[in-house]
Amino acid sequence: MKNVPGTSGLIMNEPLLWEKGKKGRKGMSIPAADVPQVEMVSTLKGAGPDFPDLSEVDIVRHYTRLSQWNFGVDTGMYPLGSCTMKYNPKTNEKQAATPAIGAAHPMLDDEYVQGTLKIMYDLQQYLQAITGMPAATLQPSAGAQGELTGMLIFDAYHRSKGSKRTKILIPDTAHGTNPASAALCGYKPVPVASNADGVLDVESVAALMDEETAGIMVTNPNTLGLFESNIRAVAEIVHAKGGLVYGDGANMNAIMGIVDISKCGVDVMHLNLHKTFSTPHGGGGPGAGPVCVVEKLKKFLPVPHVLKEGETYRLDWNNPDSIGRVHGYHGNYGVLVRAYSYILSMGAANLKKASQLAVLNANYIKEKLRKALHLPYDQPCMHECVFSDAKQHELKVSTLDIAKRLIDYGYHPPTIYFPLVVPGAIMIEPTETECKEDIDQFIETILLILEEAKTNPELLHSAPVRTKLKRLDETLAARKPCLCG
C-alpha cells in the first residue's frame, strides 16, 4: 500500500531525568542576591529534595526526545471517539499567552483586571448563545467537574423545594464520569437501558422515574453517536415528577447551530472546551467544563460570577443560594481564552459548518466500512460511528489487535471497548478538520488491516512493531506497581 503516514524513522533513546546530570549543574539563571541572606529558623529547615542537577541543553534534549515518542493531532489523524480530537489552532496559544493576561494575578480588585473579566463575560454570552441557555459559569476545570457542578445544582434545587432525592437515572451508554459525579452528591445511579435503536425509550424512563429520583443525565448525541430523538418526551416525564434533566455536552461538536439545547428540555449542561472548542488536550489536560443552566437554576451557579454593569465588569460574590466555588480562582482561565479565540475566529456560520462536516465525515466512514466491520446500530449517525469486531472473531482477531495495527500505519486508534453496550466496540470520531484524502487513506488502511487479519493475523497480534516499544505489559504494572523512581 502506498502513502501510509507511518514509516520507520530514527528513534533516540533517553534515560530518566535522574539517570543523567551532575551535581552542581543548573538549568536556570537565578538572579544574584541583592539583599542580605537571612537563614531559615533551624528547627524548620530541611535538606531540600533529591533532584538531579541538569543543564539547559540536558533538559531541552531530554524533552525533545520524549516528545518524539508521542503522537498528537498535529502528527496525524486521531479519530478517538468521544474525545473530539480536532485541530488545535496555533493562534489560540498566542492569545492565551497575551502578556497582560498571562501575568494577571487572580486576586486583584476588579478595576485593575477589566480585560480578563471582559473575556469571561463575553465567553459566557457566547456559550449561552451556542446552547440557547440563559446563564453559564466558567469555573469547572473539566467535563467531570462540570458534571459535579451540575449535580450539586440538582441537589441545591431539590433542597430549595424542601426535598432530598436519592437516585439519578443514567443511560447504559453514559461515560463513567456520570455515575461517579452523581455518587459524589449521594445519588445512587439507576441505569436505563437504551432500546434496540440505541436511544432512550420514553417508556423505560417513565417506568423508572419517581419522586425519589433527582433527574436524568443524558449525553446527547449519545456515545453510540446517535441523537436522542425522544429527548423532549423524556424531559417531560422527568419534569412531571419534579426532576431535572442534565445534558452531558461531550458531543456538542455534532450539533452547534443546529440544536437549541434549551428547547430539548435540558436544565443543566456542561460543555467540554477541550473537545468542541478546539483547546488542546495536553496529554490529559487541562480541560474546561463550563456549565450552562436555565433561568430558574441561575441562582445556584458558583460564585464569584462575572457581571457587566454599563461598560464595567464586576465579580459578584454575593449569592446566598450559590453552591459555592468549585475552583480556587476562575477556572482554567488560559483554556477559556483559547476557546474564546476559537469562537471569535469561527463565527456563527463556521461553527455550524464545523458540526455539519464532522457529521458528514463520520457518516462517510460509516458507509465505507459497514461491509467490512460489524455495525451494531445501523442508524444515521452524528459526529461518530461505532463498529465492533464481531466479524473478526472467527479470525481470532480482536478490536485491540486492529487498534494496535493502526499504530504501525501512523494513525492513532479510535476509542476501543466503549461504549460498554457494544462488546468489542470501535468508536470512530474523525472531526471536521480531517480532509477527504486523509479520511480516504484512513479507510483504506482499515480495510488493508482487515485483509491482513484474514491472510496473516500474526501481523495484528504482534502490532505495533514500528514504535519505540512494543505492546506493554499492563498486568505487570498493576500487579507490582512502580509509581515512583
Partner 1 sequence: MRYLPHTQEEIAEMLAEVGKESLNDLFSTIPDDCRMEGDIDLPPSMTEWELDAHMAQIGASMRVTPQHKVLVGAGSYHHYIPEMIRALASRSEFLTAYTPYQPEMAQGTLQGIYEYQTLTARLLGMDVANASIYDGGAALAEALLMGLRINKKCKKVAVSKGIHPHHRQVVRTYLQATDFEIVELPLGEDGRTDLASLAEYSDLAAVALQSPNFLGVIEDLQAAGEKIHETGALFVTSFTEPLAFGLLKNPGECGADIVCGEGQSMGLARSFGGPGLGMFACKDKFTRNMPGRLVGETVDKDGKRGFVLTLATREQHIRREKATSNICSNQGICAMMAGMFMATLGGTGLRELAQLNHSKAEYLKSELRKAGAEIVFDSPTFNEFLVRFPSDFKPVYKQLFDNGIVAGIEVGRYYPQYKGCYLFCATETVGKGDIDAVVQEVRR
Binders of partner 1 among residues 423 to 462 (CB under 8 A) are: 432-436, 462
Q: Is 64 in the site for partner 1 (CB under 8 A)?
A: yes
Give the nearer residue to partner 1 in terms of CB position, either 86 or 305.
86
In whole angstroms, how close is the CB of 389 to partner 1 at the nearest point? 17
In whole angstroms, how close is the CB of 78 to partner 1 at the nearest point? 7
* Residue 140 contacts residue 149 (beta carbons within 8 Å): yes
Stretch touching partner 1 by CB under 8 A, among 241-249, 274-282, 386-394, 449-457: 274-282
- N residues, the chain: 485
Query: Is residue 248 classed as helix, strand or coil in its secondary structure?
Result: strand
Q: Report the site for partner 1 in 348-367 (rule: CB under 8 A).
A: 348-354, 356-357, 359-361, 363-364, 366-367
* Residue 194 contacts residue 200 (beta carbons within 8 Å): yes
The single residue among 1, 344, 396, 451 that binds partner 1, judged by CB under 8 A, is 344
Query: Is residue 35 classed as helix, strand or coil in its secondary structure?
Result: coil
In whole angstroms, how close is the CB of 475 to partner 1 at the nearest point? 9
* Residue 467, C-alpha cell as written in the block: 514504535
CA distances from 47 to 42, 203, 249, 481 (A): 11, 66, 48, 28
Give the nearer residue to partner 1 in terms of CB position, either 394 or 481.
481
The single residue among 2, 3, 7, 31 that binds partner 1, judged by CB under 8 A, is 31
The single residue among 227, 277, 377, 409 that binds partner 1, judged by CB under 8 A, is 227
Assess whether the previous peptide bond of 140 is cis (omega < 30° from 0). Answer: no
Give the nearer residue to partner 1 in terms of CB position, either 378 or 454.
378
Q: Is 413 in the site for partner 1 (CB under 8 A)?
A: yes
* Residue 368 contacts residue 403 (beta carbons within 8 Å): no
Give the nearer residue to partner 1 in terms of CB position, either 454 or 476.
476
Give the nearer residue to partner 1 in terms of CB position, either 132 or 242.
132
Give the nearer residue to partner 1 in terms of CB position, either 295 or 367.
367
Q: Give every CB contact of residue 159 below 8 A, 6+ residues apart in sequence.
A: none
Q: Is 207 in the site for partner 1 (CB under 8 A)?
A: no
CA distances from 413 to 24, 360, 425, 480 (A): 44, 20, 12, 28
Give the nearer residue to partner 1 in terms of CB position, either 145 or 388.
145
Stretch touching partner 1 by CB under 8 A, among 118-126, 205-213, 238-246, 290-298: 118-126
β-strands 291-293, 268-271 pairing: antiparallel
Q: How many CA atoms lie within 13 A of 334 on its CB side?
A: 17
Binding-site size for partner 1 (CB under 8 A) equals 201
Stretch touching partner 1 by CB under 8 A, among 28-36, 201-209, 389-397, 444-452: 28-36
Other C-beta atoms lying within 10 Å of the C-beta of residue 111? 10
Give the nearer residue to partner 1 in terms of CB position, either 62 or 241.
62
* Residue 250 contacts residue 105 (beta carbons within 8 Å): no
The single residue among 163, 316, 325, 423 that binds partner 1, judged by CB under 8 A, is 325
Distance CA 386, CA 375 (A): 7
Distance CA 346, CA 341 (A): 9
Give the nearer residue to partner 1 in terms of CB position, either 341 or 388.
341
In whole angstroms, how close is the CB of 195 to partner 1 at the nearest point? 14
In whole angstroms, how close is the CB of 394 to partner 1 at the nearest point? 25
Give the nearer residue to partner 1 in terms of CB position, either 70 or 394.
70
Stretch touching partner 1 by CB under 8 A, among 200-208, 240-248, 450-458, 475-483: 475-483
Other C-beta atoms lying within 10 Å of the C-beta of residue 284? 6
Q: Is 278 in the site for partner 1 (CB under 8 A)?
A: yes
Binding mask 288-307 for partner 1 (x = CB under 8 A): --------------x-----
Q: Is 95 in the site for partner 1 (CB under 8 A)?
A: yes
Distance CA 399, CA 416 (A): 7
Residue for cell digits 478517538? 80
Q: Is 368 in the site for partner 1 (CB under 8 A)?
A: yes
Q: Report the site for partner 1 in 147-206 (rule: CB under 8 A).
A: 147-148, 151-152, 155-156, 175-177, 179-186, 188-189
Q: Report the site for partner 1 in 369-388 (rule: CB under 8 A).
A: 379-380
* Residue 446, C-alpha cell as written in the block: 482499515
In whole angstroms, how close is the CB of 412 to partner 1 at the nearest point? 6
CA 26 to chain centre: 37
Could you tell me which residues are beta bridge partners of residue 374? 388
* Residue 232, C-alpha cell as written in the block: 423532549
119-150 burial, b at 16+ Cβ within 10 Å, e below that, comes to: bbbbbbebbbebbbbebbbbbbbbbbbbbbbb
The single residue among 331, 419, 424, 430 that binds partner 1, judged by CB under 8 A, is 331
Residue of 184, 141, 161 whose CA lies nearest to 302: 141
The single residue among 169, 200, 224, 226 that binds partner 1, judged by CB under 8 A, is 226
The single residue among 202, 206, 212, 232 that binds partner 1, judged by CB under 8 A, is 232
Give the nearer residue to partner 1 in terms of CB position, either 46 or 320.
46
226-253 burial, b at 16+ Cβ within 10 Å, e below that, comes to: bbbebbebbbebbeeebbbbbbbbbbbb
